[in-house]
Amino acid sequence: MFLLEYFSSKDNRTKQVELNSIIMLIAKGVSMFIQLLLVPLTIGYVSSATYGIWLTLSSVVAWVALFDIGINNGLRNRYAECKAKGDIIKAQKYVSTTYFLLSIIFLPLLLILLIINAFINWSNLLNIPEIDNIQLSTSLLIVYFCLNFIFSTVNIVLTAEMKPAIPSIFALIQQVMIYIIIWLLTCFTEGNLLKLCIALTIPPLIIIILSNVYVFRAKLESVKPKFSCIDLKLSKSILSIGYKFFIIQIAVVVLFQTSNFVMIKYYGADEVTQYNIAYKYFFILNTIFSILISPLWVAVTDSKAKGDYQWIQRTIAKYFRLSVVFMVIGLFMLTSVH
């Protein structure tokens, strides 16, 4: 009865939220299924310990997320406000300025981290045996994460356009490509960390770059980033919201990205793999709920800009009831493990 209520709203804003939620559920569901298939395929290719090392290295390098300082989240709100007011010119300035700010942060950071990486003994730091090409693998991870932070801005723009389903489709394409490449590698090559790193970073990076070209040429040409549209006066406006999200980002990184490092340091690489398998199981529920509430961010910003506070109140009540359902499912998942 509740689910029928969830998918039976009549106003256009809610219909758009629900349509995107349905598409995201399908895309994310298929993507999660591929990820589950990818775990045994990857472990069979490189061993459980090597896969655990990959997970740990990617967790450590993912700390570069802190240097985003909330810029993309600031863009999401400012862009949604401009769209609600019909100010496309200012929206384009926000997009161009955001790409510029991220570029002047992450491109120098990329070079600095590559230099630092050359002097890090990862085997001693992670308490693991010596592995060939671990330095090169880590360098590739650094390049991937830094460039990805710049080019993934297109996903923020699409989300601010109330089209968060499109980034989910891009992510699904990435997962399919990764699975195909690793399957081909298992057929024709011997597994090692460097090959795994190439398979897990190069395809997603190519797709996110191509998605920028496609979106800003075919879908959102009116707001495509241009040097002439960079307006550094808007930086303060972006960061005034962004820094609040930056604090949340720090908490998330500390909470979710340090566990792999601690485990590999004191318990071994195999334990990292075991932990992440269990983590993926319980994270399914969080992913589904995140999909359902993801379109709300921009929709609420839009309704607030238009003064439609009744819609916000109705939506909060609806999603509160939805959260109760998910709590019950989560308890069932926990008890089923035992």
Residue 65 has pLDDT above 60, yes or no: no
Query: How far is 143 from 261, CA to CA, in rounded Å?
Result: 20
pLDDT band at 2 (very low <50, low <70, confident <90, very high): very low
**What sections of the chain are H helices per DSSP?**
2-6, 12-46, 48-61, 71-85, 88-117, 122-126, 134-151, 153-160, 165-188, 193-214, 235-257, 259-266, 269-293, 296-305, 309-337
Question: Could you read off the pLDDT of 240-269 as tens digits, one per residue?
Answer: 766 666 667 677 666 666 677 677 777 776
pLDDT band at 208 (very low <50, low <70, confident <90, very high): very high
For 225, half-sphere exposure in the C-beta direction (CA atoms, 13 angstrom radius) is 20
Instruction: Find the mean pLDDT for residues 283-294.
Output: 75
Instruction: Find the mean pLDDT for residues 123-127.
Output: 77
Q: Which amino acid is at 61?
A: V
pLDDT, residue 103, reads 93
Instruction: Find the mean pLDDT for residues 9-18.
Output: 66
Query: How far is 71 from 240, CA to CA, in rounded Å?
Result: 9
pLDDT band at 1 (very low <50, low <70, confident <90, very high): very low
pLDDT, residue 107, reads 92
Residue 280 has pLDDT above 90, yes or no: no
pLDDT, residue 242, reads 61
Q: Which of 157-166, 227-236, 313-322 has the highest mean pLDDT?
A: 227-236
Query: How far is 282 from 78, CA to CA, in rounded Å?
Result: 34
Q: What is the pTM of this model?
A: 0.74
CB 92 within 8 A of CB 216: no
Question: Could you read off the pLDDT of 293-333 as tens digits, one per residue?
Answer: 776 766 776 777 677 777 778 878 887 888 888 888 888 87
Instruction: Find the mean pLDDT for residues 111-125.
Output: 87
pLDDT, residue 62, reads 63
pLDDT, residue 268, reads 74
Residue-wise burial string across 300-334, b where 16 or more C-beta atoms lie within 10 A, e elsewhere? bbbbbeeebeebeeebeeeeeebeeeeeeeeeeee
pLDDT, residue 176, reads 92
Mean pLDDT of the chain: 81
Torsion of CA 158, 163, 167, 168, to 10 degrees: 160
Query: How far is 144 from 245, CA to CA, in rounded Å?
Result: 23
